[in-house]
Amino acid sequence: MQKRKQLIKNKKVLQTTYLPEELPHRKDEIDKIASIISSALYGDKPSNIMIYGATGTGKTAVVSFIGKELKKIDPDEDRCSYLYVNCEVVDTSYGILFNIASQFIKDINQKIPFTGWSFEKLYEEFYKQIEMTSRVFVIVLDEVDHMISKKGDDIFYHLAKVNEHLVKSKVSLIGISNNMKFMELLEPKARSRFGGESIIFQRYDKSQLEDILKKRVEGLFEEGVLDDSVIRYCATIAARNEGDARMAIDLLRIATDIAERNGDPKITDAHVKSAKSSMETDIIEEAVKSLAPQSKIVLLSIIKNTEAGNTVMITGDVYNVYKHLAERLQVSILTQRRITDFISELDMMGLINASIKSFGRLGRTKEIKLEVPKDIVERFKRDPLFKPLDDYVPPTQTKLM
């Protein structure tokens, strides 16, 4: 078999988890954070920092960059330790604290059980261990807004007040959130303890995204394989999508993959276009998979209606089939009012299109159309939740018009 020709020298650079040496257009943000955090190297407690910004604006990258710099200056962590936790991945207060502790306590499993202790007991051990090290800890809580939705904001409060228990060591927090209202969601006591400075990461524009991509892949493609115009095209699409650098990088990586798979000698706009459509399919698939069970049943009802020839339906049609399905699946049957809410949610996610239609004196109703591509529908129908429905045929519908 012929070996596939690699178009790029080091594909890792186009993985979104890769941290490049340089982060163009984030110098001001890096300088500002560094000027606050650097006091940790002199044994002082830096102010807490809250970083806000839309997805793909480089928040995680900038903070990791700062962590790497700290490590360069103080490799043995004599003065300062940088600890990072993603609150979306670790989902309980106990888990978050345990995760942070495991980054600086050697043989943590012999000292602290992964479960079983109360949070308070873990917290007490946590600050004792911190105090013993006589260091400044910079603790990053990435995607910190997830803790609120998981009712875990007590961890934020506890970490913000940990300095009250410390004499020789100090803790400084960096919170990262997509949600500008994060602070308002906190309990007042946690908010006032946190204090701190806020930094907002603005979205990148097209030319900034272009610079970011160019710098990132500098020297990685042979002459003539990747024209600037293709980079510009990726930047243009990502700029339209709210200045998301992750999207720009993903587009280029997937386009490179597609070109390599086809055995094409260079990357073109057409490859970027295919990359874009494959990413969109993935997004829809993810959205469908992550729906709550009741919402899945509503979507299935819309699919069953569509398959039975009722391609433009009203809420009543959705509700009738939904009731049958819920009954067969032995889940509780919600009211039509609740189903209307689910329909609006599916509409907002772009999985269906629901437009209000007026019938004059007869009133108004929603006209609902399925927007999920066929192949995804087929995979969705195989969701284990729907197993009991294998031979289900929807009842015949009475149509309004």
Which residues of the shown chain bind ligand ATP in the complex (CB under 6 A)? 16, 20, 23-26, 53, 55-61, 178, 212, 216, 245-246, 249
Q: Report the residue number, 105 or 212, with the smaller CB distance to ligand ATP.
A: 212
Choose one: 54-62, 249-257, 308-316, 345-353; the region binding Mg ion (CB under 5 A). Answer: 54-62
- Specify the residue, 112 or 230, whose C-beta has the smaller distance to ligand ATP: 230
Residue 56 Ramachandran class (φ > 0 left, ψ -120 to 50 alpha, else beta): left
**Considering CB distances under 5 to 8 angstroms, the limit depending on partner class, which of Mg ion, ligand ATP, none binds residue 253?**
none
Look at residue 32 and give the partner it binds from ligand ATP, Mg ion, none, a contact being a CB closer than 5 to 8 Å depending on partner kind.
none
Can you read off the two tokens belonging to residue 354? 């629901």
Please identify, using beta-carbon distances, which residue of 60 and 208 lies nearer to Mg ion. 60
301 binds Mg ion (CB under 5 A): no
- Tokens matching residue 146: 């997830």
The minimum distance between CB 233 and Mg ion, in angstroms, equals: 25
Looking at the DSSP assignment, which residues form a beta bridge with residue 267?
A: 226
Residue number, 212 or 291, with CB nearest to ligand ATP: 212
Q: Which is nearer to Mg ion, 6 or 16 (CB)?
A: 16
Residue 86 or 294 with smaller CB distance to Mg ion: 86
Minimum CB separation of residue 98 from ligand ATP in Å reads 22
Min separation Cβ 58 and ligand ATP, Å: 3
Question: In 3D, which of 98, 42, 105, 32 has the Cα closest to residue 63?
Answer: 32
Binding part of the chain for Mg ion, among 21-29, 52-60, 274-282, 328-336 by CB under 5 A, reads 52-60
For residue 236, the minimal CB distance to ligand ATP (Å) is: 16
Pick one of Mg ion, ligand ATP, none as the site partner of residue 212 (Cβ within 5 to 8 A by kind). Answer: ligand ATP
57 belongs to the binding site for Mg ion (CB under 5 A)? no
CB distance 123 to 155 below 8 Å = no
User: Can residue 64 be called a binding residue for Mg ion (CB under 5 A)?
Assistant: no
Query: Should residue 48 be labelled a site residue for Mg ion when binding is judged by CB under 5 A?
Result: no
> Rounded to the nearest whole angstrom, what is the least distance from the CB of residue 230 to ligand ATP in the complex?
18
Q: Cβ 85 to Mg ion, closest distance in Å?
A: 12
The answer to whether the beta carbons of residues 245 and 20 sit under 8 Å apart is no
Based on the shown chain and the rule CB under 5 A, indicate whether residue 60 belongs to the binding site for Mg ion. yes
Q: How many residues does the chain have?
A: 401
Q: Which does 20 bind (CB under 5 to 8 A by kind): Mg ion, ligand ATP, none?
A: ligand ATP
Give the residue closest to Mg ion by C-beta. Answer: 60
Q: Which is nearer to Mg ion, 174 or 370 (CB)?
A: 174
At 71, the amino acid letter reads K
- Nearest distance, CB of residue 182 and Mg ion, angstroms: 14
The burial of 225, by beta-carbon neighbours within 10 Å (0-12 exposed, 13-18 middle, 19 or more buried), is given as: middle
Nearer to ligand ATP, 247 or 314 (CB): 247
Site of interaction with Mg ion (CB under 5 A): 60
